[in-house]
Structure 1
Amino acid sequence: MTETTGPPWITGAEIFRRVGFRAAARAIDEALAGGLDPARDFDRGILDLDHGQLLLMPAQAARFAGVKVATVAPGNPALGRERIQGVYLLLDAATLGPVAILDGAALTTLRTPAVSAAAANHLAPAGIDRMVVFGSGPQAWGHIEAMRGIREIGQVTIVARNLGRAEDLAAQVRESGQAAGVGTAAHVGDAQLIVCATTARTPLFDGTLVPDDSCTVAVGSHEPDARELPSALIARAQVVVEDAAVALREGGDVIIPIEEGVVAAGSLVPFRSIVTGRIPVDRGRPRVFTSSGMSWEDLVVATAVFQAR
């Protein structure tokens, strides 16, 4: 009898050893510049469970296909467990045979900041004196590392509900050689780069304070009735989204302001149009990139990880 072995398991540590934030951001940018169209992505399945949500995220490309099965369990941190868990199954596109299984939580921790950094590389000012980060979890840390890959940053200011966790993250950032401290939402008033990576369901700051020459990234919400960004900022900003249809279905950051009448759905700019130069970046007002996560992003980064072996 011939023994068969299954696809290799790629741990979280191995994912980050193979592909860092800068390389993952470059892979996202190159995929969009090379013709990938997010509008052709499969819809993400979101199933409500008794203790959270089950997310199914399939995607396909020329050489590989894949699916991420992830769970979001809001009660897990209180039990000492991760809020987001999951696995990613990478397949050969021609045969649909499995070629690798990746740690899904680590993949998400890598790809979400990578997408944000790819967008901010187009939208953010060249000089970043202050970066304000809302949140203190893995995504907050990942976004700091990813943004440091595209810009030199003078000061990182952490804003979080849990002051102890904010202090811990600031200390971790300082240990890496980056100036960092804890602040308040008012610090957005002199920030050139703002990142929102929280579980908040209502706006985190006063949108009138945000400077015109700035970039704000929001990644915490994938529900139509939850948002991190205030309508006052959306009304002023050039708003860039992964895909307009997805944003209008899942993105409370834009759905709620549209319902309020402060912005038109037709004004949303697909990220692909920025990357390809079809729509120019408007440097005369704030730029916002709001993301709820799409399946093609996981496939792009999972492919980069697999090919880097």
Structure 2
Amino acid sequence: MEVIQAEEITKKFSMKETMESIENFYLRKEENYISPDRMHIEDGDNTALLMPAFYGDYYATKLVGVAPENSSKGKDTIHGLMVLYDRKTMEPLFLCDAVAITSLRTGALGGLGMKHLSRQDAETLGIIGTGTQGWSHLESALVARDIKNVHIFNRTEEKAHQFKSKAEKEFPEVTFSVSPVEDLVKQSDIIVTTTTSPTPVLPELNESEWKGKQIVGVGSFRPAMQEISDQVLHMADEVYVDAASAFRESGDMIRAKELRSDLEDSWDLEKLIKNNHQLKSVEGKTIVFKSVGAAIFDLVVVQSIYERLYK
């Protein structure tokens, strides 16, 4: 069984390729897959997640631990391992750092939401939360749209400046600013929330300030977590999800169901991709895309990496 470190994955598999692998899965899949809701085991503020999936010739499982308080200790919030198996024999083929897979697939899901739902001429991105997922959504936004300006907010301002310095070296053609959250929202075409906050991180603004914007929520994955404000959830013109499980797992979407009665027909990412759905006009609209991830997305990504490296 091959063991691959995170650095090798990120060097040899790009965000663009990750987005394409998920698109191709939905466009080409010819057989059913098995992807149960992930198992949550809560230990105080920490969460252990078990995520198995079966598709084609492969079985994969991801075991992840999420410790929100790690950020205050200078440690990564997420740790974990992922294993890819031969589906018929159940022999392990590939063991890798689950954080690298999670980062790629979560960024790719948000990026695909941007590709299908944000303004075609979107140039300004706002990122709330500067951890691993903040970085992966910077990468995917640059794939999805011609982003020229990025506003960054983090509750610990020092981390926002560290993110800015790293981003300026990696993407010198883009202008980065550390901004108050209110300014970030007002000036951004796309706003990404990547925190594990139990309370909304979006500010209360005049409703007109939200028009023409897409909000991509990716941090809330437990019922007790809500990043997107009641104001935005209530007033949003359209609400989309990466998978239906978002309405059961995320506090954002659980709250959205309490605030409105029009979510039964909300489209998921599969419908967006299969129908090549593009909003004709975002002007005057507020669009929400909520992503929680699912085991099948992890399998698709790790399968693509394995086949790239070894087949």
Do Structure 1 and Structure 2 share a fold, with TM-score over 0.5? yes
SS in 2 for 1:112: helix
Superposed CA deviations along residues 75-122 of structure 1, whole A, max 9, x for unmatched, are 333444322111001011222211100111111121110111122111
1:45 aligns with 2:42: no
Q: 1:167 to 1:287 in 2, by over 3 A?
A: same
Identity %: 25
- Offset, 1:265: 3.2
8 A contact 1:188–1:209 mirrored in 2: no
8 A contact 2:117–2:278 mirrored in 1: no
Q: 2:115 — aligned with what? A: 121
* Whole-angstrom distance in 2 between the partners of 1:307 and 1:273: 26
8 A contact 1:111–1:297 mirrored in 2: yes
**Correspondent of 2:194 among 197, 211, 221:** 197
Q: 2:146 — aligned with what? A: 152
Superposed CA deviations along residues 106-164 of structure 1, whole A, max 9, x for unmatched, are 11121110111122111111222311100111211111112112221121000111111
- Offset, 1:227: 1.1
Superposed CA deviations along residues 162-192 of structure 1, whole A, max 9, x for unmatched, are 1111111112112221210111222312321
In structure 1, the gaps of 5 or more residues are 1-6
Q: 2:19 — aligned with what? A: 25
- Offset, 1:211: 4.0
Q: 1:266 — aligned with what? A: 264
Q: 1:239 — aligned with what? A: 239
Q: 1:243 to 1:36 in 2, by over 3 A?
A: farther
Q: 1:61 — aligned with what? A: 55
- Offset, 1:53: 1.7
Q: 2:286 — aligned with what? A: 286
Over aligned residues, Cα RMSD in angstroms?
2.2
- Offset, 1:234: 2.4
* Whole-angstrom distance in 2 between the partners of 1:293 and 1:35: 18
* Whole-angstrom distance in 1 between the partners of 2:292 and 2:31: 16
Question: Which residue identity lines up with residue 305 of structure 1 in the other structure?
Answer: I
Q: 1:68 to 1:152 in 2, by over 3 A?
A: same
Q: 1:228 — aligned with what? A: 227
SS in 2 for 1:180: strand
Question: Which residue identity lines up with residue 226 of structure 2 in the other structure?
Answer: R
SS in 2 for 1:75: helix
Question: Which residue identity lines up with residue 96 of structure 2 in the other structure?
Answer: L
Q: 1:115 to 1:210 in 2, by over 3 A?
A: farther
Q: 1:4 — aligned with what? A: none
**Correspondent of 1:84 among 78, 96, 118:** 78
8 A contact 2:33–2:53 mirrored in 1: no
**Correspondent of 1:133 among 116, 122, 127:** 127
- Offset, 1:287: 2.0
Superposed CA deviations along residues 26-58 of structure 1, whole A, max 9, x for unmatched, are 111111222489995212001123672211000
* Whole-angstrom distance in 1 between the partners of 2:187 and 2:168: 20
1:179 aligns with 2:175: yes
- Offset, 1:200: 1.5
Q: In terms of mean alpha carbon deviation, does 18-27 or 203-212 score higher?
A: 203-212
In structure 2, the gaps of 5 or more residues are none
Question: Which residue identity lines up with residue 184 of structure 1 in the other structure?
Answer: P
- Offset, 1:257: 2.5
Q: How many pairs does the alignment contain?
A: 301
* Whole-angstrom distance in 1 between the partners of 2:216 and 2:70: 26
1:214 aligns with 2:213: yes
Q: What TM-score, normalized to structure 1?
A: 0.90
SS in 1 for 2:37: coil
Q: 1:36 to 1:57 in 2, by over 3 A?
A: farther
